[in-house]
Amino acid sequence: MADPTDPQELVLQTIGLRKHFGGVLAVNGVDLSVPPGDVRAIIGPNGAGKTTLFNLLTGDLTHDSGRIYFAGEEVSGLPPHQLCRRGMGRTFQITSIFRRLSTLENVQTAFLSHHRRHYNILTPARRLYRDDAFALLERVGLHEQARKPSGILPHGDQRRLELAIALASGPRLLLLDEPTAGMAPRERHEIMALVARITSDTGLTVVFTEHDMDVVFAVAQRITVLYQGSVLTEGSPAAVRANPDVQRVYLGQPASR
């Protein structure tokens, strides 16, 4: 059985990650180990450091100390575009797509970049990776909307599009920042079901932050609970749910809807 702490085996690992803002230690020595195929939820009350941790992982923030390993290689401090090239994909809490490009063009552009053709200034791009893009759009259920400007799509569809964009880069790890934020309950389950389907089909590893506990317990394979910048506990959904510290920390906090 593979040693789960062996860096070679893990898709993502952080050791002693720290970050302050002014006097506040937002992330205080976080150790995280995510094996391949894991669907990991990072939860915690407001102010626990989830967003900061997330931004550290995605290269949006630079850490003060500690290290980040991706697929066995150290990636601490690498800029986002290089993390993407290495196989990290992400979605944003506020949907982040290319609004004035069509749905299809959004995905095509991601493919073009993934295949390193984005410095090509002479061939017409319209047909490139069109079939691949259509296939991906079909997978996320946006096939019908391919030609529309993505900015006019309803919120839920934009989220799906963002997922497709992230997938087009062929990632090994998907980092989802509050994937169901702003969605109605039914949509939430739909999109997480989509994520679950895709990950089980492809063996993709997923790490996501969430406030909605229903979604978390339905989808996650393992849960890391953050509190005040450090890891409070980590384990299977059942174990976490039963953990008295977790219950105390969440006491009085109803599942968000």
Partner 1 sequence: MTSSARALGLLAVVLALAPLALPPFFLQLLTEIAIVGLFATAFNLLMGFGGMVSFGHAAYFALGAYAAALLVKRAGVPMLLALPAAPLAAAAGALLFGFFIVRLTHTYFAMLSLAFAQIVFTVIFKWKSLTGGDDGLLDVWPPVMLKSPAAYYYFTLATVALSLFVLHSVSESPFGYALRSVRENPRRARFIGINVRRLQLLAFVISGAFSGLAGGLFAFYNGSVFPDFAYFTKSFEPLVVALLGGAQSFFGPLAGAFGFKILEWLVSRQWPVYWPLFLGTIVVLVIVALPQGFVGLAGGQGWRTRLIRKS
Q: What does the binding site for partner 1 look like in residue numbers (CB under 8 A)?
A: 58, 79-81, 84-85, 89-90, 92, 96-101, 105-106, 108-110, 112-114, 117-126, 128, 165-166, 168-169
CB of 162 to partner 1, least distance (A): 8
CB 38 within 8 A of CB 221: yes
Residue 57 or 216: the one with the smaller Cβ distance to partner 1 is 57
Residue 37 or 170: the one with the smaller Cβ distance to partner 1 is 170
Q: Which of 35, 34, 28, 21 is nearest to 66 (CA)?
A: 28
- How many Å apart are CA 22 and CA 63, to the nearest integer? 13
What are the helix (H) ranges across 115-212?
130-139, 155-168, 185-202
Residue 81 or 257: the one with the smaller Cβ distance to partner 1 is 81
Residue 40 or 114: the one with the smaller Cβ distance to partner 1 is 114
- Side-chain half-sphere CA neighbours of 148 within 13 A: 13
CB of 21 to partner 1, least distance (A): 19
CB of 60 to partner 1, least distance (A): 8
Residue 48 or 110: the one with the smaller Cβ distance to partner 1 is 110
Residue 122 or 251: the one with the smaller Cβ distance to partner 1 is 122
CB of 257 to partner 1, least distance (A): 27
Residue 22 or 124: the one with the smaller Cβ distance to partner 1 is 124
CB of 62 to partner 1, least distance (A): 15
Burial label for 150, CB within 10 Å (0-12, 13-18, 19+), is buried
Phi/psi of residue 66, each to 5°?
105, 175
CB of 248 to partner 1, least distance (A): 37
Q: Which of 63, 58, 54, 73 is nearest to 7 (CA)?
A: 73
Phi/psi of residue 82, each to 5°?
-75, -35
CB 166 within 8 A of CB 179: no
CB 27 within 8 A of CB 19: yes
